[in-house]
Amino acid sequence: MSVNEAISRLTEEQANQEAQQLRTKLKQWATEYYTYDNPSVEDSEYDATYQQLVELETAFPTIIVPDSPTQAVGDNTLPEFTKVRHEFQMLSLGDVFSTTELSEFIQRLITQGVKPEFNCELKIDGLAISLRYENGLLVQGSTRGNGQIGEDITKNLKTIPSIPQKLTKPIDIEVRGECYMPKSSFVKLNEQRQADGLEPFANPRNAAAGSLRQLDAKVTAKRKLSTFMYNVADYSDLQATTQSELLAELATLGFQINDTYAVVDDMDDIDAFISKYQEQRDDLSYGIDGIVIKVNDLATQMSLGNTVKVPRWAIAYKFPPEEAETIVRDIEWTIGRTGVVTPTAIMDPVTLAGTTVARASLHNPDYLIQKDIRIGDTVKLHKAGDIIPEISAYIASKRPADSQVYVIPDICPSCGSELVHLDEEVALRCINPKCPAQLTEGLAHFASRDAMNIDGLGPKIIQQLFDKQLVNDVAGLYTLSFDNLITLNKFGEKSANNLLTAINNSRSNSLERLLYGLGIRHVGAKAARLIAQHFGSMAAIMAASADEIALIDTMGEVIADSVVTYFKTIEAQALIVALDEVGVNMNYLGPTSAKLAATDSSFNGKRVVLTGKLQAFSRATATEWLENHGAQVSSSVSKKTDLVIAGADAGSKYTKAQELGIEIWDESRFEATMNSEE
Ligand code: IVH
């Protein structure tokens, strides 16, 4: 019996009940997804449930209620943000899931007399944003919210490099598009979150949304977000008469657009565009979840208009979820350097979206319990955010009769000590500082490139050094002899000598490498560099209070507390003494100011003028910082000026810069860029 047949057998009351249940589910999922950026089901499950509701409501129109998810978008805004009323509603898109449905949509338009000219675009997996410019200057940026009312996230959006603060023309315009997180940043962010014991983001869209909807714009600035703009609220000030021209015009105004678009005139070409990008999807550096097909002529778009929620002139073709089935053979627990214990499902290898997959992270015990995954289960796999293999669910009908609930270990698989949850963490941790698994991971980190950079000291060698009890902490590396190393498996004279030299050379590294190499929670390579630079020596860092550390630019309390807590432990103090005794350098040897970053800096070689009153720092500090980052700071604006940074009450220099069409930043953008470049 087909779904439609099943529906036609329902009484109106049954249909009503069923619809109510679907609505409750959909509303909860939408809140998790849109408001909290933390979905509990796959997009495809949401889409399928939504379709079921559409079918029920189509068969029984009397059961439709105004607050049904098919009729209205719920309130997706967080109370912490100021609300913005969109003067022009921010629409969503209708979805289709097959080319047959898509062809019907296109055919309907053609029968209505629409000229068959369509612009095909990629459907970016991000979140919709709106940017309002007055006189060519960015005045407000917001989220979609429910389409009528969104959240004011101006400060956060100003930290995104692809968003122009000033357009190439002084026009009033409201531009819409997508803010997204590139796949590589998404993977890195999730790895970091996992190491910090935090829940990973489900996909780049949720990661982007979570990063944008931050009260602290500094957090957003660090998250490497980007944008593609594709729409405007009102065309009257523009030259474009088609969607494809609009994209080109947006690019000339200074926006980043996605240039993978094509104007086509029949269903065959639409199909070809879909197939091409469905295939290339995994190779793109950002996530896409479908193709958007838009009537190209803007006047026709206007005359077709919108339904309550979606335009009649555009539709989204959603890619089918790429899935595979396989069997879970084991659940492996690995201990990270910070003691976080992570479960991984070991499965029969299968091909999924072009790659062979045999392992999938189960993130943390809560996740494993919630999904109720057991050894022997047949599971459905997908790629989260197009990249990371993840188990969607087990297949109930294929669960063996003798299946047992998986028991979460309560002792560390490496050292046998009791596992704990710290604070509110979802992660399970081994807190034994002598745990061999943590120590080997810690040693690998110590030797890694950004830390002590000891070439040739990989995980296999480290494991052997531990197993043979030649080393039991990082200081032990420095007492290794040639005779010790030659006993290692596959180690000849040459490799032993090379490793000894690499270890020896690392003694004279500058302090920031050692500080990072210690693996103090929350202290990344950049933070380590700033702390080392500020205090100059290990002794000074160990004597510093959390307040003193937190005073360093961009440092914050979390890092400061973590440093102080670390050095308070007797183990850490003993380790530093031991490292000192074996001759590891304890002083900062780099440049004393931020000069190191000059060549990497976006300010390098630029002529910059400061004007107006800066709130956060003095003119002298800003000048020094800019000069250290390779800029030339001058006092008057001329044609040669590259950038004007304008504080409060900026006067004639500001006006002159505007006349000359020179890029103007406000203080918050400057601050955000400083923070992101440190
Ligand atoms: S057009 C009235 N074009 O998909 C214009 N939307 O599922 C409506 N999206 O809310 C949007 N890429 O956030 C359009 N090339 C694209 C898009 C796109 C991604 C998002 C957008 C929209 C959602 C609907």
Distance CA 103, CA 113 (A): 15
Which member of 25, 123, 158, 183 is catalytic?
123
End-of-domain residue from the set 23, 40, 71: 71
Mean pLDDT of the chain: 90
At residue 649, the pLDDT reads 79
Identify the residue whose C-alpha is closest to ligand 1 atom 21.
128
278 lies in some domain: yes
Same domain, 225 and 328: no
Same domain, 341 and 314: no
Tokens 């019996």 sit on residue: 1
Distance CA 340, CA 420 (A): 10
pLDDT greater than 60 at residue 454:
yes
**Residue 263: alpha-carbon gap to chain centroid:** 31
| Length in residues, the chain | 678
Distance CA 51, CA 380 (A): 21
pTM > 0.75: no
Quote the ligand 1 centre to 607 CA distance (angstroms).
Answer: 38
Same domain, 105 and 223: yes
Same domain, 228 and 285: yes
End-of-domain residue from the set 289, 318, 347: 318
Q: Report the CATH number that the domain containing residue 449 is assigned in CATH.
A: 1.10.150.20
351 lies in some domain: yes
Residue 473: closest CA among 446, 452, 497: 446
2 vs 472: which has the higher pLDDT: 472
Identify the residue whose C-alpha is closest to ligand 1 atom 9.
123
What lines the ligand 1 site, CB under 6 Å?
91-93, 121, 123-124, 128, 178, 230-231, 292, 311, 314, 316
Same domain, 464 and 567: yes
pLDDT greater than 90 at residue 404:
yes
Quote the ligand 1 centre to 227 CA distance (angstroms).
Answer: 12
The share of the chain scoring above pLDDT 70, in percent, equals 97
pLDDT greater than 60 at residue 1:
no
428 lies in some domain: no
Query: If pLDDT is split at 50, 70 and 90, which confidence band does 378 have?
Result: very high
pLDDT tens, residue by residue, 549-600:
998 877 888 899 999 999 999 989 999 999 999 999 999 998 765 555 566 6
Q: Report the CATH number that the domain containing residue 646 is assigned in CATH.
A: 3.40.50.10190
Q: Report the CATH number that the domain containing residue 358 is assigned in CATH.
A: 2.40.50.140
Q: How far apart are the first and last CA of the chain?
A: 63
95 lies in some domain: yes
At residue 8, the pLDDT reads 77
Same domain, 61 and 160: no
Same domain, 169 and 314: yes
At residue 276, the pLDDT reads 96
Output the CA–CA distances (angstroms, integers) from residue 542 to 246, 446, 567, in the order listed. 58, 19, 6
Same domain, 308 and 328: no
- Say if CB 37 and CB 201 are below 8 A apart: yes
Quote the ligand 1 centre to 261 CA distance (angstroms).
Answer: 14
pLDDT tens, residue by residue, 41-88:
877 888 888 988 998 998 898 888 888 888 877 667 777 889 999 999
- Say if CB 216 and CB 164 are below 8 A apart: no
Total domains in the chain come to 5
Q: What is the position in ligand 1's atom list of the atom closest to the CA of 306?
A: 2
Same domain, 363 and 219: no
At residue 2, the pLDDT reads 55
At residue 168, the pLDDT reads 94
Quote the ligand 1 centre to 279 CA distance (angstroms).
Answer: 21
SS3 459: helix
Range of the domain at 382: 324-414
Quote the ligand 1 centre to 179 CA distance (angstroms).
Answer: 11
Query: If pLDDT is split at 50, 70 and 90, which confidence band does 652 have?
Result: confident
Q: Which of 58-67, 469-478, 594-603, 654-663 has the highest mean pLDDT?
A: 469-478
**Mean pLDDT throughout 428-450?**
90
End-of-domain residue from the set 18, 38, 71: 71
493 vs 386: which has the higher pLDDT: 493
At residue 377, the pLDDT reads 97
pLDDT tens, residue by residue, 591-644:
765 555 566 678 888 899 998 888 777 777 788 788 878 788 888 888 889 999
DSSP class per residue in 340-386:
EEEEEEEEEEEEETTEEEEEEE--SHHHHHHHT--TT-EEEEEEETT
Same domain, 147 and 279: yes
Distance CA 152, CA 79 (A): 11
Q: What is the position in ligand 1's atom list of the atom closest to the CA of 91?
A: 2
Identify the residue whose C-alpha is closest to ligand 1 atom 23.
92
At residue 369, the pLDDT reads 94
Same domain, 133 and 225: yes
- Say if CB 210 and CB 203 are below 8 A apart: no
At residue 563, the pLDDT reads 96
Which token pair is 264?
């086509």
pLDDT tens, residue by residue, 93-131:
999 999 999 999 999 999 999 999 999 999 999 999 999
Identify the residue whose C-alpha is closest to ligand 1 atom 12.
123
Q: Specify whether 158 is catalytic.
A: no
Identify the residue whose C-alpha is closest to ligand 1 atom 10.
92
Question: What count of other Cβ atoms lies within 10 Å of the Cβ of residue 160?
Answer: 23
